[in-house]
Structure 1
Amino acid sequence: MTSSSGAEACTLFDEFPEPARSQLRAAYEEGKTRPEWCSAEGQARVAFWAPFRGADPVVTWHFDPGFDPGAGARLLTRGLRSLGVAKMIHDISLPPGLSPEVDRRVEHEALVGAGFRMEVERLLFEWRAGTDLPDDPGRLRYRPARELGEAEVLDLIARIAQGSLDYDTQLELSTVGAERDAKAMYDDLINRKAKPDWFVVGYTGDLPIGLVVPDDHSIAYIGVIPSHRGHGYVDDLLAHGTRTLAEAGISRIVAATDMDNRPTAAAFTRAGYSEVSRLYRYYWRAS
């Protein structure tokens, strides 16, 4: 990996074409990437970023579409080795009907060459201003998560994870356990670009039903406690999250769920979201 001091970040980021250059500069200012996490070889460009300041890098950032897949694989391999992380995730987004093996062949081959495997396909939805807002039936009252103790929110996240159809959640439960999975999820959600009162717990009476977390442009997380599933509460939570963002002036709201998570996909469709692309999620794990 290329290594340097923070003062040289702009020079390193200049090696990346737009829009990656501007995105990397913004991520650097937010503490989400570092100059030593960026590298180049010929036309190949690879960078890593963290979901929030202080977190380990978990996602590959950018591939120059003109690079040699062998060079990309070498950059990824060296980077993963130097970072010392246990796992890495990378998403390729494509319109429905296209495939990464054909339509993003170079990027796909670089990932596979570095030991990544494509393990899950996700659906990407969007809601745009001008679309009718979903009705909020008013069955739930909402409390900001920041008003609750961290332990209470962690317990809710762990309960929601049970029986989840989300691949990543199933994987984390089977490998690190419910407690560590809930803490990682909590840290991610609490550090997102959302107003403090947007991360909310929905209640009926004094009983918590589920969570919804709108961030600055997306529905970052939504989930219902198992004992309350099957009563349409996901629609209430999604309506609240969508209205929160729309009323804040967000004109395009995005959300994603696994293809196999048909109940959540159906909820997005009912709320006026349209499928716009597929996310192909690749995983790398240290041996």
Structure 2
Amino acid sequence: MDHAELTLRPITGPEELDLFCGLTYALDHELADDLAAGRRRPGWMWVALRSGELVARAAWWGRAEEPVPFVLDVFDLEDVAVGARLLRTAMAEILPTGTRPPTYHRLVPSDWREEATTRSVVEDRMTALAQTGAKLLAERLRFEWTPGTPVAPPNRLVFRPIRDEAEILDLMTRVLDGTLDAHSRDDLTRMSAREAAIRHYEDELAHYRSPRDWWRVATLSDGTPVGFVTPARNNYNPIIGYLAVLPEHRGNGYIDDILAEGTRILAAQEVPRIRAATDLGNVPMANAFRRAGYVDFERTITMAWP
């Protein structure tokens, strides 16, 4: 294929959304609102055109107040080599020199491996990303709870609001010991547990749109902390943001009690759904979601650059 015929460029603005959506994805309906809110910018949304026809596209998502995007979450292509070239070109323009590229996240069907065409499309995107240096970080299960699903009553644990930022950071640091979460394990290869906890808090929890008094510490009857949960709302859905059991209390089934409390808090807000996710390899957490009536409806492929 003659790459000299390609035009690689960002879109000019919302008026080119129809062009950008010549290739499709489940997040397309959010693009206009994200542009208006500053979560996406024309300079973060790139297209590869051949004779005016869209053959690849990529878009990054970020926060309006931050100068660089946070995640690559739209990437579609008709040719692997073109997709890889588009990514290299766009990242060279978008990211400051020496910056680690934002992580790639892609929603895929739960059974994506079972249908040949779907599998080929997913693997082509992953191959293009790999050609730019990205590697698979995790495959995550996405869960959903809907109203009417029973919620277990309080049983063995006592719950109280988290006191302050210092307490949640201390708990987040402690639960990283032995964590099964691939993102956290990746962070721990480059930073201390405390630094990883602060990064997670600042990148995610600090941006939730919901009251922090929804967050709960789970304790034994004598007040000893066992774990915590942060039921919340992000920009799109009510979520179980972070749920963990302290290392010394794992293996006792407390995860079920803590998840039930987080679910109960959100259900009391009369939400239409609750979303949650965990790594495919985090079997204890995945099984807890299933026991609580959450349905595995989708997956996320996550790739990252070293």
Q: Could you tell me the TM-score, scaled by structure 2's length?
A: 0.80
Q: What is aligned with 1:89?
A: 103
Q: What is aligned with 1:208?
A: 225
Distance in 1 of aligned mates of 2:127 and 2:291: 37
Which residue, 78, 84, 98 being the options, matches 2:112? 98
Q: C-alpha displacement at 1:3, in angstroms?
A: 6.2
Question: How many positions carry a matched residue from both structures?
Answer: 278
Q: What is aligned with 2:183?
A: 168
Distance in 2 of aligned mates of 1:237 and 1:55: 37
Matched, 1:11 2:21: no
Comparing 165-174 with 252-261, which one deviates more in the overlay? 252-261
Which residue, 62, 69, 85 being the options, matches 1:50? 62
Comparing 8-17 with 244-253, which one deviates more in the overlay? 8-17
- Aligned-pair identity (%): 33
Q: Specify the structure having the higher radius of gyration (Cα).
A: 2
Mapped contact 1:14–1:21 kept (Cα < 8 A) = no
Q: What is aligned with 1:80?
A: 91
Q: What is aligned with 1:117?
A: 135
Mapped contact 1:2–1:37 kept (Cα < 8 A) = no
Q: C-alpha displacement at 1:55, in angstroms?
A: 7.3
Q: C-alpha displacement at 1:245, in angstroms?
A: 1.8
Displaced runs of 4 or more, over 6 A: none
Aligned residue type for 2:15: T
Matched, 1:241 2:262: yes
Q: What is aligned with 1:254?
A: 275
Distance in 1 of aligned mates of 2:28 and 2:262: 31
Q: What is aligned with 2:169?
A: 154
Q: C-alpha displacement at 1:48, in angstroms?
A: 0.7
Q: What is aligned with 1:184?
A: 199
3-state SS of paired residue (1:243): helix
Query: Structure 1 residues 98, 3: CA separation in 2 closer, same or farther (over 3 Å shift)?
Result: closer
Distance in 2 of aligned mates of 1:198 and 1:177: 28
Q: Superposed, which structure 2 residues align to 1:222-237 within 5 Å?
A: 222-237=243-258
Aligned residue type for 1:140: V
Q: C-alpha displacement at 1:2, in angstroms?
A: 4.8
Q: Deviations over 1:140-193 (max 9, x none)?
A: 2221x4x41x23321111101111011111111121221221111111112123
Q: Deviations over 1:54-90 (max 9, x none)?
A: 37423212134x6433332222112222313314322
Matched, 1:199 2:242: no
Which residue, 104, 124, 127 being the options, matches 2:145? 127
Comparing 260-269 with 101-110, which one deviates more in the overlay? 101-110
Aligned residue type for 1:196: R
Which residue, 13, 26, 30 being the options, matches 1:23? 30
Q: What is aligned with 2:73?
A: 61
Mapped contact 1:218–1:255 kept (Cα < 8 A) = yes
Query: Structure 1 residues 31, 203: CA separation in 2 closer, same or farther (over 3 Å shift)?
Result: farther
Q: C-alpha displacement at 1:282, in angstroms?
A: 1.5
Q: Deviations over 1:16-50 (max 9, x none)?
A: 32764542333344443322211111112211112
3-state SS of paired residue (2:129): helix
Query: Structure 1 residues 22, 93: CA separation in 2 closer, same or farther (over 3 Å shift)?
Result: closer
Mapped contact 1:48–1:59 kept (Cα < 8 A) = yes
3-state SS of paired residue (1:197): helix
Q: Could you tell me the TM-score, scaled by structure 1's length?
A: 0.84
Gaps of 5+ in 2: 1-7
Query: Structure 1 residues 55, 128: CA separation in 2 closer, same or farther (over 3 Å shift)?
Result: farther
Distance in 1 of aligned mates of 2:102 and 2:141: 20
Mapped contact 1:30–1:53 kept (Cα < 8 A) = no
Matched, 1:32 2:39: yes
Q: C-alpha displacement at 1:106, in angstroms?
A: 3.8
Query: Structure 1 residues 55, 137: CA separation in 2 closer, same or farther (over 3 Å shift)?
Result: farther
Mapped contact 2:138–2:302 kept (Cα < 8 A) = yes
Comparing 74-83 with 237-246, which one deviates more in the overlay? 74-83
Mapped contact 1:92–1:281 kept (Cα < 8 A) = yes
Gaps of 5+ in 1: none
